[in-house]
Amino acid sequence: MSIPSNIRTVPPEELEEQKAYASRVREHYARRLGGRAPLACVRTFGCQQNVSDSEHMKGLLAGMGFSFTDDPEEADFILFNTCAVREHAVDRVFGNVGALKAVKRRRPETLIAVCGCMVQQEHVAQKLKESYPFVGLVFGTHVLHRLPELLFEALGSRRQLQSIPNMDGVIAEGLPVRRDGGFKAWLPIMYGCNNFCTYCIVPYVRGRERSRDPERILEEARELVAEGYKEITLLGQNVNSYGKGEAHGVDFPELLRRINAIEGDFLIRFMTSHPKDATPELFDTIAACEKVSRHFHLPFQSGSSRILGLMNRGYTREQYLALIDYARRAVPDIAFTSDVIVGFPGETREDFEETLSLVRQVKFVSLFTFIFSPRKGTPAARMPDPIPAEEKSAWFKELTDTQEELAAERLAGMVGQRRRALIESRENGYIEARLADNIVVRLPDAGIPLGEYAEVEITEAKSWILIGRLAAQ
């Protein structure tokens, strides 16, 4: 596998070394707790990549003898895996970490750790050191696989231990994983991002783009199918640039074809795709692969080519719309969702109206809408931003109202359809099932086990959810 020299594949000896540390952590707790299994409370903030990282860290913790709890009050080890994408996310983490001070006072033996994207920023690491001394361990995104060693060292240290190497990134294969879901699994295929959209902190905290070896991905996908997983979501900040610059020559469409060829009844999802790397070949591949979901998350961020240029997105409004057009011709039942930012520095009312018109034109199933949040160290944080916050909020409301109307219309148009859905949850006499295009249908609980597929008939549309019943066989 040819990986640029500044990106490291963690050698197996290093992972073996971590197993030795895991035994030492286990012994430490066995001595201290007199045979009771130590309890870990892992909280995850941010995107699916973080959720997947936490699943691997839980795998490592299980290997150190930990059981798990959701209650920080009873945990011996508390781990917060954090997000830095918007100020709100950072404030939320600081609020939650602050609340742990009381836990630490009541139970001084508890070890508190903070890791993930937020920590990878120098000013955050500094703040944790100065203002949150009760946090015993702080580590960045490139050293997750060294959790046993870091935990062991922190247990023996009276001061806050920080490990936040500033590097391009690693690929650690073969880590244990403790998955949260019984029938839906996350499968990371690439890490990091090279796009440097001017507003975004991710490339700074997650390092350079690097793709896993296709054989390792296929092996993991086969295992998941054999274990009965019904949905596999391929993860990456930029999934569709998978394989770029690698000698194995497997690109994203080829990877999809190979996973699609695995025998079994399962659905392949993926996120997130970048419009500049979404090729006609990708849509043709989706059309040809029956196991690939017809849901496509394709963030457009702004409907104004001028703002897209300032954002460094690498495509124009026209190119984005042409892509959607092609996709709808190649895959007629494709359903799009997207991300959009309101109030980017310098955005005018006219630019915003172009966003509104794009939303009306494309008719997304759903939209993730964000108000621009300046991130320290990114180019956009230094751009003049004359629009007052109240005006941005008013635009934001206009956009979400428009989307709600469009989504309601779309859902209403689905009444009467008969569709296949995955039964995901049950509560109060109802079950919720998800269609391949990611829309949720609520139906009376007829006792079907979670994780099974069922044919449902859509009987009614609410503003963001469908109501239905099991279709007669």
Other beta carbons less than 10 A from residue 178's beta carbon? 17
Query: Interaction with ligand F3S in 49-108: which residues (CB under 6 A)?
Result: 49-50, 83-85
Pick from 65, 72, 188, 203: which binds ligand SF4 (CB under 6 A)?
203
The SS3 assignment for 83 reads: coil
Among residues 230 and 269, whose Cβ is nearest to ligand F3S? 269
With CB under 6 A as the rule, give the number of residues binding ligand SAM: 18
Is 115 one of the binding residues for ligand SAM (CB under 6 A)? Answer: no
90, 172, 202, 282: residue in contact with ligand SAM (rule CB under 6 A): 202
Please list every residue from 296 through 325 that binds ligand SF4, using CB under 6 A.
Answer: none
50 binds, among ligand SF4, ligand SAM, ligand F3S, none (CB under 5 to 8 A by kind): ligand F3S
Question: Coil, strand, or helix at residue 37?
Answer: coil
CA-nearest of 88, 99, 110, 96 to 44 is 96
Footprint on residues 35-54 left by ligand SAM (CB under 6 A): 47
Residue (79 or 193) nearer to ligand SF4, CB = 193
Q: Is 224 helix (H, G, I), strand (E, B) or coil?
A: helix
* Selected binder of ligand SAM within 266, 372, 395, 396 (CB under 6 A): 372
Per partner kind, with CB cut-offs from 5 to 8 A, the member of ligand F3S, ligand SF4, ligand SAM, none near residue 203 is ligand SF4
Instruction: Tell me: does residue 212 bind ligand SAM (CB under 6 A).
Output: no
Q: What angle do CA 207, 208, 211 make, to 5 degrees?
A: 120
125 makes contact, choosing from ligand SF4, ligand SAM, ligand F3S, none, with CB < 5 to 8 Å by partner type, with: none
Question: Which partner, ligand SAM, ligand F3S, ligand SF4, none, binds residue 83 by CB below 5 to 8 Å per kind?
Answer: ligand F3S
Beta bridge partners of 461: 466
- Count of CB atoms within 10 A of residue 450's CB? 16
Site for ligand SF4 in 216-245 (CB under 6 A): 237-238
285, interface contact from ligand SAM, ligand SF4, ligand F3S, none, CB < 5-8 Å by kind: none
Q: Which does 196 bind (CB under 5 to 8 A by kind): ligand SF4, ligand F3S, ligand SAM, none?
A: ligand SF4
User: Smallest gap, in angstroms, from Cβ of residue 394 to ligand SAM?
Assistant: 17
DSSP conformation class of 301: B
Cβ–Cβ under 8 Å, residues 451 and 423: yes
State how far the Cα of 77 lies from the Cα of 87, in Å rounded to an integer: 26
Rounded to whole angstroms, the Cα distance separating 117 from 135 reads 17
Q: Residue 418's beta-bridge partner residues? A: 457
DSSP notation for 410-440: HHHTTTT-EEEEEEEEEETTEEEEEETTS-E
Of 7 and 435, which has the nearer Cβ to ligand F3S? 7
Residue 312 tokens, joined = 């460094």
Report the C-alpha gap between 205 and 121 in whole angstroms. Answer: 7
Q: Where do contacts with ligand SF4 occur on this chain (CB under 6 A)?
A: 193, 195-197, 200, 202-203, 237-238, 274
